[in-house]
Structure 1
């Protein structure tokens, strides 16, 4: 008798659930799109624009490779698509976060369509894509460095999104029987692999390891070397060599204060990966959504030809692989600089963890189903109702449950924080302060010493790195002054 009200609620949700879920997703995602209107350049945006103005497009690629970084994809992106380097940059800078969010949403849809084919209707695929976008933004380590900072977009999250598209392309390649179609998908995978690896070494090394391990696994299963995957792994290795062996990388490493050996860097990387996994799962959001999706996952597991099922044959291997890739992602920074990766790079690792978490969950459900250990009785009606109510409460309230560590607001509800910065006025004040600063700098004669106001209470969701109020010779102040053609810019803290 107690389950009757819950059963009624469950039946009601089945009829109106898609519309309610759509409305909830729109409300939760709205502040992230709204905050784009208040976004402004910071730090590297001016540095990179100055470099492009100084060297020109082609010479700038050569200069960066020889003197600064082997990220050939990112350098090309911020050369061609950095609004700060061109006229009208204030408006176009605000449009880029919106474009990026829409591209991410579309990429999630392509990924789900590639893995699920026609097993889920288009409306369900779009809802799933919106839910993945919200889960990504909900506890992204830093929205300021990931969404509203152009340099962060091109170096980290956008290549990570394209890496997920690579997964969808590989699923199409594996599922194609006709040789011409397989060749087309293989060429597309090679091109996208070169693009992704050239964006960031934190992404490049795990991708190379993943492709290499998968190729060896297929060779062991088929008792022969798979030509397509071997070619793809070779392309990845060559792209990594071009990126890693750039002279600019070693010039930057020489300026770092400390380096760790391989063994110590590996131990620290494993500890950092474990810390992040516990934090990302600690609030229970991903666990609750996994339980709600378990019945759907069990139904999909019974379709043997589904690309999703072909990709998730070995749950233990996927779980170990997921954690191992996180460790590999943390390793280069500890080895090269003796420091953990910054939040902007951790954004990218969280994107991979999010996708990998649901893949491994499906793999384990599929394994339990095939072993006959999956419960045959349907889940009581009150279980999904209570889980759904708890998720709703979690998404409309703020929290800050985390392990001890230096991360500010780790594991917080970014959706609530974004609403607070937007509707609470912090974003508007941030926009007004920087707009007034630009007007002051443009009205001041060139080659003069300018004094501007330091930002007061910048919004956590938007602001990344501003002028130094303590040191006018700080590199951020110098690049700011160079961009606005000033001799020096000093920032003072107003009372």
Structure 2
């Protein structure tokens, strides 16, 4: 059964790569393209910084999107690159952190499992990989952060980095914090915790982390001081209330800790316990086993807190679902990190449970149940059913595009009325136009195609 685990996990991911070929821009993708077309590439950066957001790196990357270059057919390349990059970053991360515990094939399986769990149980996959404004703002910095976390292993083990590794760690900070405030706070928290752990190991501070922290702090200040932030958050009545934000953040952290649990996660966790018990001698050689108990627990708590506090502070309420995508990813990593650390620290407790209920921990029972729950409970079932809708959705979208271009060419500034989309694949479809031509989604489409207004029928 173990031999088929990796092929089955890879199979679970295949539909997401296929669906990428049927993804199209929507909402903010057109809005940012319009900024570039109206102001030019560099002037658009200042326009967004002063009128909407200080996320300088996300704004720049969104300005380079294929839509702004009138190359809509290049759009599917973005989710393909992000899906592949996300998977590759997990492979690198798992290989580094399990180097003395798992062989290459096993670490590849673990990385693929984490990827499959993440994309199956994240709140809204379209905004993680198929919607440019969400993927650039959240998934791209997540990939870089995962790679940086993998590099930390070399730093802790050897006390130093190669020149290329050093350059990456130093530069990735300003890139990550320039994408969004949530990952900014998580990055700054993580890098300070890593610096403390390095000090406990080597009795000195890491010059790489010091410089990386300073540059990250400068980038954070650039984001935080942007005039556009006050414009974007001005209509939230409960914003900027410190005690209220802390109270709501603690509540949201506890709520999501329970909400993120799934049958698949519990079953794979039981399998992880069995594996750790069977290989406890090798587990002692890993960096995970050398980490003090308080570090993974503190990072877990701070990760959840930092995921919700920026939105509670700036908006006075829960963050959008695309933030939950990121939060769930970190939740998975720290869940397994704490579980493995716990098994290493208290193996006798788990061995007693194993001997008392051997059938509960039997891999021949757990693995089939875990795989079935992985496919039937989360997003995977939608990904497979969406394959039947994708082609029809693509035809409908292209029909809208062609009609918009033809009408604008014949009579610039004309109004158009579309029928609602009939085929809406859950995994790759973000938002449709609305019946209200004054809705900003509609206005972004109309401006991009040189139309006066667009709407859909009721």
Q: Whole-Å Cα distance in 2 between the matches of residues 384 and 71 of structure 1?
A: 46
Q: What is the TM-score normalised by the length of structure 1?
A: 0.85
Describe the shift of the 1:224–1:109 C-alpha distance in structure 2 as closer, same or farther (beyond 3 A): closer
Match of 2:380 in 1: 415
Q: 1:452 aligns with which of 375, 400, 418?
A: 418
**Residues 342-366 of structure 1, C-alpha deviations (whole Å, 9 max, x = no match):** 0111111111111111111111112
Match of 2:72 in 1: 89
Match of 2:455 in 1: 490
Match of 1:361 in 2: 339
**Residues 113-168 of structure 1, C-alpha deviations (whole Å, 9 max, x = no match):** 21122542222222222211101111110012112111111011121121111111
Describe the shift of the 1:26–1:209 C-alpha distance in structure 2 as closer, same or farther (beyond 3 A): closer
Is residue 97–residue 148 contact of structure 1 (8 Å, CA) maintained in 2? Answer: yes
1:82-481 equivalence runs, <5 A: 82-90=65-73, 92-117=74-99, 119-177=101-159, 181=161, 184-216=164-196, 219=199, 225=205, 227-281=207-261, 283-298=262-277, 299=279, 302=282, 304-310=284-290, 312-314=291-293, 316-369=294-347, 373=349, 375=351, 380=358, 383-398=362-377, 413-423=378-388, 425=389, 427-444=390-407, 445-456=411-422, 458-469=424-435, 471-481=436-446
Q: Whole-Å Cα distance in 1 between the matches of residues 215 and 385 of structure 2?
A: 46
Number of residues of Structure 1 aligned to a counterpart in Structure 2: 451
Structure 2, unpaired ranges of 5+: none
- How far off its partner does 1:236 sit? 2.5
**Residues 394-432 of structure 1, C-alpha deviations (whole Å, 9 max, x = no match):** 13434xxxxxxxxxxxxxx10001112223x3x333222
Q: What is the TM-score normalised by the length of structure 2?
A: 0.91
Structure 1, unpaired ranges of 5+: 1-12, 399-412
Q: Whole-Å Cα distance in 1 between the matches of residues 255 and 183 of structure 2?
A: 19
**Residues 369-403 of structure 1, C-alpha deviations (whole Å, 9 max, x = no match):** 4xx555289764772111112113313434xxxxx
Describe the shift of the 1:193–1:466 C-alpha distance in structure 2 as closer, same or farther (beyond 3 A): same
Describe the shift of the 1:159–1:226 C-alpha distance in structure 2 as closer, same or farther (beyond 3 A): closer
Is residue 313–residue 363 contact of structure 1 (8 Å, CA) maintained in 2? Answer: no
Describe the shift of the 1:378–1:335 C-alpha distance in structure 2 as closer, same or farther (beyond 3 A): closer
Is residue 189–residue 302 contact of structure 2 (8 Å, CA) maintained in 1? Answer: no
SS of 1:199 mapped into structure 2 = coil
SS of 2:416 mapped into structure 1 = strand
SS of 1:359 mapped into structure 2 = helix
SS of 1:205 mapped into structure 2 = helix
Describe the shift of the 1:213–1:174 C-alpha distance in structure 2 as closer, same or farther (beyond 3 A): closer
SS of 2:67 mapped into structure 1 = helix
Q: Which has the higher mean CA deviation after the structures are superposed, 340-349 or 118-127?
A: 118-127
Is residue 169–residue 188 contact of structure 1 (8 Å, CA) maintained in 2? Answer: no
Q: Which has the higher mean CA deviation after the structures are superposed, 299-308 or 471-480?
A: 299-308
Q: Whole-Å Cα distance in 2 between the matches of residues 290 and 321 of structure 1?
A: 19
**Residues 38-93 of structure 1, C-alpha deviations (whole Å, 9 max, x = no match):** 2111100000011111122222222222222111221122222x121124312x21
Match of 2:39 in 1: 55
Match of 1:4 in 2: none
